[in-house]
Chain A
Amino acid sequence: MNKMLLLAILFVLAFSPVVAGDVKLMDKDELKGLLGSRDLVVLDVRAGRDWSASEFKIQGAVRADGADFDSWSKSYPKDARLVLYCA
């Protein structure tokens, strides 16, 4: 798991209307500290072989299509913290 985190490039999308569009990077240590939080949703947006050839997945991460953000983003509470990793 730690090894997988080394590979991850993490993005945080803030859902608040005030900061909508403000996307920041998150490093692995910050994410490790958040794992287990009730409002945290980790989304694995890797596609193709980036996902299928990799042995490592973050525990509890949900697969999502990064290009289809508008459709799945509505299914999470507005105050949820969504973390997307793509590599």
Chain B
Amino acid sequence: MRSTFIAIGIALSWPLSPDALVRLGNGAGQWRLGFLVGLGLATVLSGMAAAVIRNPKTADGRNHDAGSLLADGLGPLPAMTIVIASRVSLALLLSTGLLVTAGYTFNEIFVYWFPNFGFSYLLLAFILLAHLAGGRAALVLQPVFAATAVGGLASLVLLGLGSPGASGPLPTMAMPALPISTASALVLFLGYDVTTSWPDGGSRLPVLAGLSGILLLFCGWSLVSLAHLPAQRLAESTIPHILAARAIAGEAGRILMGVAVIAGTCAAVNGIFLIARRSLASLAAQNLLPGHRQGVFPDGIHVAVFAAIISVMMASGLAGASVLETYIEAALLLWLFSVAIQCLAAFRLLRDTDGCQAALAAVTGLLFAGGAVVLLSFHGEAKDIARFLAILLLSVFMVSALWLRLNRDAGGVLH
């Protein structure tokens, strides 16, 4: 049972983060009730991807993760490139942004005299300590963080449903916006592609349960937000969740949302560190992690390196640079794209044994790739995002290719 909660907690790392709440609020404001349709479609697609990626037939009796699925289906070089680039960019960039947001939330909602960056560093140190304590503490804390964030949001939804709305009747949406609203919603559910090393960490059930639960929460929050704030204000705000919480329950609403934001940040940063650790360890076990001998993966050291780099990025003022948002968007799109690639890998593994599942994998992969392309093409910083991704992927590709070449020359065994 505990491993089920951990699996759900990890799958909800990103959906419960404050950045996801901003996207949710903006989406609800922009597409109104139609965004709920987009959320529903995105949940179905995410469930399809989870079912494909976690198909037991692709794992050959093992507990499959992104690294081994991609290596088995597409070969070692694509596996190294996609996994290292997507996991490390998320761990460094998204975590930096989320910690900064949590710092401002604590400063402005709870303790005015406490420096926002001081709180960001405290949270980072706390999460780092949990990982350095052997990793088990980080795993056990994950469902606690997730449950706290869910509790805060669910309380606000109930308060919102129980109080009269102030923004008039709920508006509808135009159907042509459905493709872009669905693609935007797809990003909100990312995390179902991650497995843990716990006994049923690769099972599909906890993740599908998590997806259903988060859909309910997102729909409830979107509805009460639209009922209490004008849609345009939600669409344009950089903190729609805090505005909605204040509109629903005043100062008590702000405090509840503050708790949800800080717990959601802990869930996201801790969860993303766990995901990165798990993915890199899996690559190391297959001798696919540059700089690491096969099977050698010093536990916790990588998180310490992530924390050190994040500290430097925060101290250097990256939080105050708009380019951080571009990089975070790129990291999220790469995550979405990596799901498409994992579906493609599953298709190649399944096509000879299960034609029906292989077809599902191909369709799902194409839809996710299409979603990533749609989001990139509609983004105002599309060129910068594409440039960043090209440099990132090319750099990791070259380092990975060099590592494979060195291993081959040294007679290393890849599998």
1/0 contact trace for B61-98 toward A, CB 8 Å? Answer: 00000000000000000000000000000000000010
Residue A55 contacts which of B108, B318, B323 (CB distance < 8 angstroms)?
Answer: B108
B97 touching A49, Cβ below 8 Å: yes
A47 touching B321, Cβ below 8 Å: yes
The B-contacting residues of A in range 55-84, CB under 8 angstroms, are: 55-56
B239 touching A48, Cβ below 8 Å: no
When A3-B112, A53-B101 are in contact, do A48 and B238 touch as well, CB less than 8 Å?
Answer: no
A48 touching B324, Cβ below 8 Å: yes
Q: How far is the CB of B256 from chain A (nearest CB, A)?
A: 14
Q: Is A11 an interface residue (CB 8 A)?
A: no
Q: How far is the CB of A61 from chain B (nearest CB, A)?
A: 15
Q: How many residues from A make CB contacts under 8 Å with B?
A: 15
B320 touching A53, Cβ below 8 Å: no
1/0 contact trace for A25-67 toward B, CB 8 Å? Answer: 0000000000000000000001111111111100000000000
What residue of chain B has the Cβ atom nearest to residue A56's Cβ?
B108
User: Which residues of A lie under 8 Å from residue B107 when comparing CB positions?
Assistant: 7
When A53-B100, A53-B239, A55-B239 are in contact, do A48 and B319 touch as well, CB less than 8 Å?
Answer: yes
User: Which residues of A lie under 8 Å from residue B145 when comparing CB positions?
Assistant: none
When A53-B105, A53-B239, A55-B242 are in contact, do A46 and B320 touch as well, CB less than 8 Å?
Answer: yes
Q: How many residues from B make CB contacts under 8 Å with A?
A: 21
When A55-B239, A55-B242 are in contact, do A49 and B104 touch as well, CB less than 8 Å?
Answer: yes
Q: Is A6 an interface residue (CB 8 A)?
A: yes
A53 touching B238, Cβ below 8 Å: yes
Q: Which of A46, A50, A53, A86 has the most CB of B within 10 A?
A: A53
A46 to B104, CA, bound (A): 13
What residue of chain A has the Cβ atom nearest to residue B239's Cβ?
A55
A54 to B113, CA, bound (A): 15
A77 to B322, CA, bound (A): 29
Q: How far is the CB of B131 from chain A (nearest CB, A)?
A: 24
User: Which residues of B lie under 8 Å from residue A56 when comparing CB positions?
Assistant: 108
Residue B319 contacts which of A6, A50, A55, A86 (CB distance < 8 angstroms)?
Answer: A50
Q: Is B325 an interface residue (CB 8 A)?
A: yes
B325 touching A48, Cβ below 8 Å: yes
Q: How far is the CB of B23 from chain A (nearest CB, A)?
A: 13
1/0 contact trace for B307-350 toward A, CB 8 Å? Answer: 00000000000111111110000000000000000000000000
User: Which residues of B lie under 8 Å from residue A50 when comparing CB positions?
Assistant: 319-320
21 A-B pairs, CB-CB below 8 angstroms? Answer: A3-B112, A6-B112, A6-B113, A47-B320, A47-B322, A48-B319, A48-B320, A48-B324, A51-B238, A52-B238, A52-B325, A53-B100, A53-B105, A54-B104, A54-B239, A55-B104, A55-B109, A55-B239, A55-B242, A56-B108, A86-B320
* List of 4 A-B pairs having minimum Cβ-Cβ separation, nearest first: A52-B238, A50-B320, A53-B104, A53-B101
Which B residues fall within an 8 A CB radius of A? Answer: 97, 100-101, 104-105, 107-109, 112-113, 238-239, 242, 318-325
Question: Known contacts A48-B323, A53-B104, A55-B104; can you find 15 more A-B pairs with CB under 8 A?
Answer: A6-B112, A6-B113, A47-B322, A48-B319, A48-B321, A48-B322, A49-B104, A49-B319, A49-B324, A50-B319, A52-B238, A52-B325, A53-B100, A53-B105, A55-B239
